[in-house]
C-alpha cells in the first residue's frame, strides 16, 4: 500500500503530478538503466571493443517489459544496488553467452548516475513547462492590473500605494530569473558518467575515451571532463535550483493566503463548489492550494539541504552519501512539480477585486498618503520639519478619527504653502504610484510574446 504523500491514492495529485511521478518510478528508472546499457553496447560494438553480434543481441533485449521487477527487487535487496541485478537479467536474456559483453568496462555508479541525469533532464523539461505557464499567468496579471492601486505593506502594516500589476511583476521577474538559471544549469548538470571503478577507465585497454564520448553522444548528454562519482555539486545545484523555485512559489502562496483574509479580501484562489469549506463554519473560504504549496516547498528546501550533505563523499566512491540522493532527489522533484502545478492553477484562475483593494487603501482616512504629503510639504519647509509636522497630524487623525486631508487643510503651517486642491492631489493614491508602471513594462518586455 502507498505510504507517502507522493504515492498516496488520496493525496498524491495534491502534492505531486502523474508526469513527474512517472519519471521517478521504478519502471522509468530501470528503462533508463537499459538505455545506458544499450547505448554502451552500441558504441562499443561500433568501435570493435565488443563483438558486433554481442552488441546487437544486447540492444535487442534492452526493453524493460522483458524484465521481472519482483526478481529485481529481491536481488537489489541482496546486492545493495539495482544495476547488477538488471545486468544479470539482461545477460540471461541474451543467446549464446553474448550477454557477457553487457556493461563492458562500466561500474554500477556509471549506469545509475547517467540514468539519473536522464531523469533530471526529463524532469527539468516538466519544470520549465510549468515555469513558462506561471510566467504567462503572471504576465497577464501584471499587464491587466498595471495601473490598479493596491496598498503596499511593510512589516505587515499598510505603507504606500503600489499597483497590483507591480506586485505581480516583481514575482514575474523572479520566475524569469529561474528560467535563466534552469538554462544555465543544463550545461553543468546534464553530463553523463562513465569512468569505471574509480573513474580512470582502466578496465578498457583501448578506445576508452572514444567509448565515453560515443556513449554521451548516443544519449544526448554532455561528456564529463573527469569522473564525478564523489564530486556531486551538479546534483546539489539541481536541488538548490528547486529550493529557489520553491521559495518563490512559497512567496506567492503566502501573499495569496494573506490577501484571502476576511479583513483583506483583495484576491482569492479560484472558486469551486465546496473548495476550502469548513466542516463546521459554512461561511468560510479557506485557502487550499496555498497550503499545499507552502508544505511542499518547505520539504523541498530540506531535500536541497540533504543533497548538499551528499556532497561530502569519501575518496573515489562514497560509502553512504550517494544513497542520500536516492531518497532526496526524487522527492524534491515530485514535490516541486506539485507546488508548480498548484501555483499554476492559482494564478491562472486568481480572482482579483480592485474595488476592495481601493477600499483597503482608504480605511486609514488618508494616513497612507503621509509620505506623499511630507515630500510635497518638504519642498517648502524642509523634509525633516515636514516629517515631524505630518507625523503629529497623523496621530491627531487617529485620535479624532478624522481624514488626514481635513487636518492638513486646516493647519496654518500647511495651508500657507499648499491649498486644498494641492493637498487633495497629494492625498490621491493614484497620483503616488511612482514608476510602478514603467517597471511593470520593463519586466513584461523580458517575456516577449506573453
Catalogue the active-site residues. 278, 317
Residue 255's Cβ-count burial label (10 Å; 0-12, 13-18, 19+) is middle
Question: How far apart, in whole angstroms, are the C-alpha atoms of residue 296 and residue 332?
Answer: 9
Q: Please name which of 209, 191, 224, 227 lies closest in space to residue 318, comparing C-alpha atoms.
A: 227
d(C-alpha 97, C-alpha 178), whole Å: 50
Q: What are phi and psi of 262, to 5 degrees?
A: -50, -45
Contact 246, 331 (CB under 8 A): no
Distance CA 41, CA 31 (A): 15
d(CA 333, CA 328): 9
Around Cβ 119, how many Cβ atoms within 10 Å? 19
How crowded is residue 382: how many other Cβ atoms within 10 Å of its Cβ?
A: 12
Phi/psi for 152 (5° steps) reads: -80, 145
The grid cell for 20 is: 513527474
Amino acid at each position: 500500500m502507498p505510504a507517502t504523500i507522493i504515492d498516496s491514492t488520496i493525496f498524491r495529485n495534491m502534492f505531486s503530478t502523474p508526469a513527474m511521478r512517472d519519471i521517478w518510478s521504478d519502471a522509468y528508472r530501470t528503462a533508463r538503466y537499459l538505455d545506458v546499457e544499450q547505448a554502451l553496447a552500441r558504441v562499443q560494438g561500433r568501435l570493435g571493443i565488443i563483438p558486433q553480434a554481442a552488441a546487437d543481441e544486447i540492444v535487442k533485449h534492452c526493453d524493460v517489459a522483458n524484465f521481472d521487477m519482483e526478481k529485481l527487487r529481491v536481488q537489489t535487496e541482496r546486492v545493495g544496488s539495482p544495476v547488477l541485478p538488471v545486468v544479470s537479467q539482461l545477460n540471461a536474456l541474451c543467446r549464446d553467452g553474448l550477454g557477457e559483453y553487457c556493461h563492458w568496462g562500466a561500474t554500477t555508479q556509471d549506469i545509475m548516475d547517467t540514468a539519473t541525469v536522464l531523469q533530471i533532464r526529463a524532469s527539468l523539461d516538466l519544470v520549465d513547462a510549468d515555469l513558462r505557464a506561471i510566467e504567462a499567468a503572471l504576465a497577464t496579471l501584471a499587464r491587466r492590473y498595471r495601473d490598479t492601486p493596491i496598498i503596499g505593506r511593510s512589516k505587515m502594516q499598510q505603507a504606500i500605494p503600489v499597483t497590483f500589476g507591480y506586485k505581480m511583476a516583481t514575482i514575474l521577474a523572479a520566475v524569469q530569473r529561474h528560467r535563466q538559471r534552469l538554462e544555465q544549469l543544463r550545461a553543468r548538470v546534464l553530463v553523463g558518467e562513465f569512468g569505471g571503478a574509480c573513474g580512470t577507465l582502466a578496465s578498457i585497454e583501448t578506445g576508452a575515451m572514444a567509448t565515453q564520448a560515443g556513449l554521451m553522444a548516443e544519449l544526448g548528454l554532455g561528456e564529463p571532463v573527469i569522473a564525478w562519482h564523489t564530486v556531486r555539486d551538479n546534483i546539489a545545484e539541481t536541488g538548490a535550483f528547486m529550493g529557489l523555485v520553491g521559495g518563490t512559489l512559497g512567496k506567492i502562496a503566502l501573499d495569496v493566503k494573506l490577501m484571502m483574509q476576511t479583513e483583506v479580501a483583495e484576491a482569492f484562489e479560484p472558486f469551486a463548489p465546496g473548495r476550502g469549506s469548513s466542516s463546521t463554519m459554512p461561511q468560510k473560504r479557506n485557502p487550499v492550494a496555498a497550503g499545499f504549496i507552502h508544505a511542499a516547498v518547505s520539504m523541498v528546501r530540506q531535500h536541497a539541504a540533504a543533497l548538499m550533505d551528499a556532497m561530502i563523499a569519501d575518496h573515489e566512491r562514497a560509502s553512504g552519501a550517494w544513497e542520500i540522493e536516492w531518497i532526496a532527489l526524487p522527492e524534491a522533484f515530485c514535490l516541486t512539480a506539485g507546488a508548480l502545478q498548484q501555483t499554476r492553477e492559482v494564478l491562472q484562475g486568481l480572482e482579483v477585486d480592485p474595488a476592495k483593494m481601493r477600499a483597503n487603501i482608504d480605511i486609514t482616512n488618508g494616513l497612507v498618503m503621509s509620505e506623499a504629503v511630507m515630500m510635497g510639504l518638504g519642498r517648502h519647509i524642509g523634509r525633516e520639519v515636514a516629517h515631524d509636522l505630518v507625523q503629529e497630524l497623523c496621530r491627531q487623525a487617529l485620535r479624532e478619527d478624522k481624514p488626514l486631508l481635513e487636518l492638513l487643510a486646516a493647519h496654518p503651517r500647511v495651508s500657507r504653502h499648499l491649498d486644498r486642491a494641492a493637498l487633495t492631489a497629494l492625498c490621491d493614491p493614484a497620483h503616488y504610484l511612482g514608476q510602478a508602471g514603467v517597471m511593470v513594462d520593463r519586466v513584461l518586455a523580458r517575456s516577449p510574446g506573453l
